[in-house]
Copies of this chain bind each other. A is one copy, B any other.
Amino acid sequence: MSSAHSTPPALLDLSTYLLSRIGKAARGRLADRLAQRGLRLWDMAVLAALSDFGPHAQRDLVVRLGVDPSDMAKVVDQLATGGYVERARDPEDRRRVSVSLAPAGRDLLAELDAEARAVQDELLAPLDPEERARLQGLLLRVHQGLG
């Protein structure tokens, strides 16, 4: 992949390029670890949303995470098959499926979070803790601006 060797300075001077490259490495490494468990990035995002905000109608997960409804159906189905989330028809509107985090899902999320932090340690190895915190703060603000 990105053969460390002598990347053109014209590219290294562009934050756009660095973000693209580093982001790809981050995504790739995390995806690899999730793949070993038969999971993809969206699985983790769904678990995190359920953990942070409680049960969601499937439709609300779609809105929150910005995924196609059809794709979300597949993700939730897989998570339910694995016993990580529970699906239940909403009695007040039987079109809706309420999705909630199962205990196994909470455990899984903790493990995935640890995987993500391991990737982080690899990736941010050149930075000391203070610098990592500064980077995190800057990235957070950039992310907020993404709209």
Contacts and interface: CB of A to CB of B under 8 A. Distances in A.
This protein's copies in its complex: 2
A117 interface: yes
A66 B127 contact: no
Interface stretch (A4-12, A72-80, A83-91, A92-100): A4-12
Interface residues of A, number: 66
A126 B147 CA distance: 12
A102 interface: no
A57 interface: no
10 contacts: A3-B63, A4-B147, A10-B48, A15-B26, A15-B123, A16-B119, A18-B139, A123-B145, A134-B134, A134-B138
Interface in A92-112: 109
A59 interface: no
B138 A135 contact: yes
Contacts of A134: 134, 138
